């Protein structure tokens, strides 16, 4: 097994890889105890059966620079193939300022090719290359050195089998003329904004049923402090305080350490020191926020009147169209989108691009009473009225 621990060896491997039309890539990382993922291993392979056409790259090796790898990721003549790429790309973007391009995600491609929703790598290995994977090393500590032979074998299999999967799926997509479909999805993964978390917007992830402007301003201030603190200290946001504690504090509005000490949900570490001071300051900020600067709840969706019967018809249509096109339903439209369509919303992903071609256009015709649904005994069909 080729394990790369020097910049010179990495440059030589990347130079050989750049002569091929694609490379397969995967990473191993740790994130349980940090805000940002710690890159521990990069696996890469390019076409060919030779053992030296696949390598384990050790970013923890002393003196190793990943600059040759970053240059390869920027080489537009070589397709970079990942499976379920989002977390890998987040690490590469944040740590090295690069998002590999051109990009191909086999999980997305598999959904376009009818393999189901968020299909796992192991399933594709079994169904496409007819092999099996040893998953015993899946949850090991990838930061410890030396790596065992079992770890190396497991890690390398994540890119060697990926070559056959990519060749099969890319051929299938080209044959069905769905290249543009996959490209639309890749554009989302290539967008740096997909991986950037702004503390100012962190409150949008906190689920609350209260629409009070002052309460939401307090939630916003608390979530912003938590995100900034977690990023600065590089610890998980849950180690600062969890969402349930955030909502409790936003409700009880503590003004001092004594008030904070009465919290039922805050961790002990959050009741004193910098975190406690930050919580009290955030509560004060939220409570003093003037009405014109308070978050405005999105009441438009709440006011939408869902036509439940129409929503049910849209679900039937979506199932029929996804089966007809051999595309995973959730890749076309989510359940909430169907309700929004049935409420009159039209500015939705399912109404644009390839999704409109597969489903959205017929969904509009169904909503407008231009078509009906019937069956021929084995399948749902659309009938023009």
> Count of CB atoms within 10 A of residue 42's CB?
24
Average pLDDT over the chain reads: 94
- Residues belonging to the chain: 385
| Range 304-318 average pLDDT | 90
Peptide bond into 50 cis (omega under 30): no
12 touches 57 (CB < 8 A):
no
**DSSP assignment, residue 316?**
H
Summarize pLDDT for 332-374 with one digit per residue, the tens.
Answer: 999 999 999 999 999 999 999 999 999 999 999 999 999 999 9
* Residue among 359, 309, 308, 356 at smallest CA distance from 329: 359
CATH architecture of 199-293: Orthogonal Bundle (1.10)
Q: If you write DSSP's letter for every residue of 36-90 in order, what string do you get?
A: S-EEEEEEEE-SSSSGGGEEEE-TTSTT---HHHHHHHT-TTSEEEESS-HHHHH
**DSSP assignment, residue 148?**
P
pLDDT at residue 89 tops 60: yes
Domain boundaries for CATH 3.30.420.10 within the chain = 2-195
Fold of 2-195: Nucleotidyltransferase; domain 5 (3.30.420)
Summarize pLDDT for 222-266 with one digit per residue, the tens.
Answer: 999 999 999 999 999 999 999 999 999 999 999 999 999 999 999
CATH architecture of 301-384: Orthogonal Bundle (1.10)
pLDDT at residue 298 tops 90: no
Helices 243-252, 213-233: inter-axial angle, 10-degree rounding: 130
Summarize pLDDT for 142-194 with one digit per residue, the tens.
Answer: 999 999 999 999 999 999 999 999 999 999 999 999 999 999 999 999 999 99
pLDDT at 216: 96
pLDDT at 128: 97
pLDDT at 300: 55
CA 73 – CA 62 distance, rounded (Å): 22
> Count of CB atoms within 10 A of residue 325's CB?
18
pTM over cut 0.85: yes
88 pLDDT tier (thresholds 50, 70, 90): very high
What is the bridge-based pairing of β-strands 79-82 and 22-30? parallel
In whole angstroms, what separates CA 148 from the centre of its chain?
Answer: 30
pLDDT at 294: 95
pLDDT at residue 307 tops 90: no
CA 37 – CA 235 distance, rounded (Å): 10
Sign for the CA dihedral angle at 196, 201, 202, 204 comes to: negative
Domain boundaries for CATH 1.10.150.80 within the chain = 199-293
């Amino acid at each position: 097994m080729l394990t790369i621990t020097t910049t010179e060896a990495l440059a030589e491997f990347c130079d050989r890889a750049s002569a091929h039309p694609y490379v397969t890539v995967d990473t191993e990382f740790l994130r349980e105890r940090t805000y940002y993922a710690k890159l521990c291993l990069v696996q890469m392979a390019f076409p060919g059966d030779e053992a030296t056409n696949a390598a384990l790259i050790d970013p923890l090796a002393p003196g190793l620079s990943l600059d040759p790898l970053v240059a390869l990721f920027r080489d537009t003549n070589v397709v970079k193939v990942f499976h379920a790429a989002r977390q890998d790309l987040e690490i590469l973007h944040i740590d090295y300022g690069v998002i590999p391009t051109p990009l191909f995600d086999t999980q997305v491609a598999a959904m376009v090719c009818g393999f189901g929703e968020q299909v796992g790598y192991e399933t594709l290995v079994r169904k496409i290359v007819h092999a099996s994977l040893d998953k015993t090393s899946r949850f090991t500590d990838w930061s410890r050195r030396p790596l065992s032979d079992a770890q190396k074998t497991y890690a390398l299999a994540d890119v060697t089998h990926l070559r056959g999967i990519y060749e099969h799926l890319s051929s299938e997509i080209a044959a069905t003329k769905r290249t543009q479909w996959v490209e639309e999805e890749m554009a989302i993964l290539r967008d740096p904004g997909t991986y950037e978390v702004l503390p100012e917007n962190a409150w949008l992830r906190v689920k609350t049923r209260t629409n009070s402007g002052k309460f939401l301003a307090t939630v916003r201030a608390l979530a912003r402090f938590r995100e900034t603190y977690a990023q600065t200290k590089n610890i998980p946001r849950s180690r600062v305080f969890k969402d349930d504690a955030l909502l409790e504090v936003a409700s009880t509005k503590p003004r001092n350490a004594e008030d904070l000490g009465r919290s039922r949900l805050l961790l002990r570490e959050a009741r004193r020191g910098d975190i406690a001071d930050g919580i009290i300051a955030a509560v004060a900020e939220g409570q003093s926020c003037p009405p014109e600067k308070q978050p405005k709840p999105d009441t438009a969706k709440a006011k939408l009147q869902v036509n439940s019967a129409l929503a049910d018809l849209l679900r039937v249509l979506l199932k029929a169209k996804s089966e007809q096109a051999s595309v995973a339903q959730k890749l076309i439209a989510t359940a909430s989108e169907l309700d929004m369509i049935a409420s009159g919303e039209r500015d939705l992903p399912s109404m644009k691009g390839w999704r409109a071609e597969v489903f959205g256009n017929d969904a509009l015709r169904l909503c407008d009473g231009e078509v009906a649904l019937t069956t021929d005994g084995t399948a749902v069909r659309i009938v023009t009225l």
